[in-house]
Structure 1
Amino acid sequence: MEGDPESQIRVHSRRGSNVIHPVEVDTPPVSSPAPTPAPTPIVYQEIKHFKRWFPWLVPSFVIANVVMFAITMYINNCPKNSVSCIAGFLGRFSFQPFKENPLLGPSSSTLEKMGALDVSKVVHRHQGWRLITCIWLHGGVFHLLANMLGLFVIGIRLEKEFGFVRIGLLYLISGFGGSILSALFIQSNISVGASGALFGLLGGMLSELIINWTIYANKVAALLTLVVIIVINLAVGILPHVDNFAHIGGFVSGFLLGFVFLIRPQFGWVSQRVSQRYAPPGYSLTASKPKFKMYQCILWIIALILLFIWFIGGLVLLLRGVDANDQCSWCHYLSCVPTKRWSCNTQPMSCLSEQIGNQLNLTCSSNGKTRTYTLTNATSSQIQGLCSQLCR
């Protein structure tokens, strides 16, 4: 410490789970009229900047999503409700036909029954809980594995650094924000998945890097790496059958929440607190430093205001039944870009059905295809599944 030849505090700018190590140091002899025994000086080589948390909430989220998928497949009961199934040896846990659900999962009617995001039911039947329940459901095995792998890798790291309360709130609120934007733009199909919440964690990582800029050693490298990861993931969202609006809504929500939840005190304040704790008795410290830098406080206030505007405004527009596509004619390209290889048609699938004896005749309303199935007393679930295959 400046002004004290016998005590020093060195602060390393590199982040991590640093600890304090007392180390003895030789002090040059000081001439004095009366030799007195001097205490052994201590150098605190590193400061324990931040508490490290044991991650348990993110693994619990992963388990909850897997359990919900298993329950969904049990209720789906493909052998009973469909003409054909994939992996029939799994019994009622077998998957819908690949043409109906290429992700290896349940039917859309089962997902809707379990709480998928259906805009018409949110607006006209006041089932707003679907904005939350949809983030715990997944369309298939591939969908579940991709999201849970990302959640485990990103979420564990964040929970270790910031604790379960802040990361849990960041995850849930970001998922809610993703559902709002998805509902404003995608109103003809149901939507499920934890992707919005997962992108919220990515957005939180980016804002955490910005608001805590001074504590990073390799700032530019960390920023570029994170931006590349985010851009790649958002680019995947322009493929068909991927709800990129949930990704964007979750990312923006998490980005703003990161400024609020993931703010760190500046190192000058941290080192001063350590100095106060270990300073010799009667030693006078310099004027106290603020806990947060000015730019951190400004970003915190701006983010809080924007969050309030976004969530209140989005909910008001959604509950009024506003279709955001009417206000933005090009925004649908953010979720799907049509090419020669695929179409971005999101119109709901419907078929005209006629049962004659044991013959079921189906005609797809969108493409005009007609097919006859040998099926006696077909249920509505079976007709809907066959219609989905015929219209694809």
Structure 2
Amino acid sequence: MATGDLERGNGKNRGNSYNRSSSSYSLENDEKQWTSWLVPMFLVANVDVFVVVMYINNCPNNNPRLEGRCVARFLGRLSFQPTRENPLFGPSSNTLEKLGALEWYKVVHGNQGWRLITCVWLHAGVIHLLANMLSLIFIGIRLEQQFGFICVGLIYLLFGLGGSILSALFIQRNISVGASGALFGLLGAMLSELLTNWTIYTNKAAALITLVVIIAINLAIGILPHVDNFAHIGGFLSGFLLGFVLLLRPQFGWVGLKNLPAGAPVKSKHMAYQYVFWVIGVVLLIVGFSVGLVMLFRGENGNDHCSWCHYLSCVPTSKWQCGN
């Protein structure tokens, strides 16, 4: 997305030569471009899971009294629940709950901690699925091409877990599903990647403003009812911190020792502030996940420790309420 079109460094210096003191040294281009295959696999997996969920949901047979009101009845058992029950064109909440939706009581008191992960692969409907998968394509493919599948895979899974933990701490009366936490984590990682690799980008201010605006708009949408903004915030914070740890790049102009003649001065591979960000990111990630998990499995309610935090997920207006 926003930083995908940024130019790195100075175009005159990005080739295969490095000039210093009127001497020319050979430099291998370290901008390795990875082939993106993991993100497309994530996309296929999410779509496949949704089809399986709809097959199990089986609106016509499992809800005989609603058979005539199932949406897209020509799809047979893949038809959707009535729009009054699910306006996103998807399964019933009961089906999502049975198949692994995030539900606080079952996680804490039912020893079903696996729901913190499975809920990331479930979606409430076609609209929900399309929105998340389009975001995954535009954000995830760019990151995988630049940093490889291992980083993106770890980031995606940890983002989803971070979003689930925060969601379970603050939303304890409803179920929650979706990859939104993981996707907001990718946005957070893009922001920290821009900050920690600041020296290699041109048009820094424009890129930063664009990315912050995109993030702000998406978080603002999260204050609407029936949207789990805590999953968004948890994923974003996890991604922002993990980006400092995994998405570190050498500063512009750095040359490996093998490319320099003996006695030539060598620049430090990373800037001092990059190491500071790295340490802060590691410490806050460990503390954040540890505190969050301990609070969750002790059965604590995050709202008891933050009386105003519920406004982060829904702000009541004259048009809607923020009940269950």
Provide the TM-score with structure 1 as the length reference.
0.75
Map residues 195-210 of structure 1 onto 2, 5 A cutoff.
195-210=180-195
In the alignment, does 2:273 pair up with 1:295?
Answer: yes
In the alignment, does 2:63 pair up with 1:63?
Answer: no
Deviations 1:198-239 (A, max 9, x none): 000000000001110100011111100100000000000001
Which residue is 1:54 aligned to?
35
Report if aligned partners of 2:219, 2:229 keep a CA contact under 8 Å in 1. Answer: yes
CA distance in 2, matches of 1:226, 1:158: 14
Which residue is 1:78 aligned to?
59
* 2:176 aligned residue (188, 191, 203): 191
Deviations 1:153-172 (A, max 9, x none): 00010000000000111111
Map residues 11-30 of structure 1 onto 2, 5 A cutoff.
13-14=9-10, 20=16
* 1:143 aligned residue (120, 128, 131): 128
Residue 89 of structure 1: how far off its partner (Å): 0.9
In the alignment, does 2:247 pair up with 1:273?
Answer: no
Distance 1:267 1:285, change over 3 A: farther
Q: AA paired with 1:64? A: A
CA distance in 2, matches of 1:248, 1:136: 18
Q: AA paired with 2:283? A: I
Map residues 361-376 of structure 1 onto 2, 5 A cutoff.
none
SS in 1 for 2:250: coil
CA distance in 2, matches of 1:77, 1:260: 44
In the alignment, does 2:166 pair up with 1:181?
Answer: yes
Greater Rg by CA: 1
RMSD of equivalent CA atoms: 1.9
Map residues 329-368 of structure 1 onto 2, 5 A cutoff.
329-346=307-324
SS in 2 for 1:267: coil
Which residue is 1:134 aligned to?
119
**Structure 2 unmatched ranges of 5 or more:** 1-7
Distance 1:47 1:14, change over 3 A: farther
**Bigger relative CO (Cα 8 Å, ≥ 6 apart):** 2
Q: Point out the more displaced range, 286-295 or 230-239.
A: 286-295
Residue 42 of structure 1: how far off its partner (Å): 6.7
* 2:105 aligned residue (120, 131, 135): 120
Which residue is 2:143 aligned to?
158
* 2:83 aligned residue (89, 94, 98): 98
The structure with the greater share of residues assigned to helix is 2
CA distance in 2, matches of 1:20, 1:115: 51
Distance 1:14 1:192, change over 3 A: farther
Residue 13 of structure 1: how far off its partner (Å): 1.3
Residue 329 of structure 1: how far off its partner (Å): 1.5
Q: AA paired with 2:206? A: A
CA distance in 2, matches of 1:86, 1:170: 36
Q: Point out the more displaced range, 290-299 or 313-322.
A: 290-299
CA distance in 2, matches of 1:189, 1:131: 14
CA distance in 1, matches of 2:220, 2:116: 24
**Structure 1 unmatched ranges of 5 or more:** 1-11, 28-40, 347-392
* 2:283 aligned residue (302, 305, 310): 305
Deviations 1:13-54 (A, max 9, x none): 148xx65389xxxx9xxxxxxxxxxxxx9786x851321100
Deviations 1:232-266 (A, max 9, x none): 00000001110000000000000000000001111
Question: Alignment identity in percent?
Answer: 63
In the alignment, does 2:90 pair up with 1:110?
Answer: no
* 1:286 aligned residue (264, 269, 277): 264
* 2:295 aligned residue (304, 314, 317): 317
Report if aligned partners of 2:185, 2:239 keep a CA contact under 8 Å in 1. Answer: yes
Which residue is 2:305 aligned to?
327
Q: AA paired with 2:211? A: L
SS in 2 for 1:260: helix
Report if aligned partners of 2:17, 2:24 keep a CA contact under 8 Å in 1. Answer: no
Which residue is 1:211 aligned to?
196
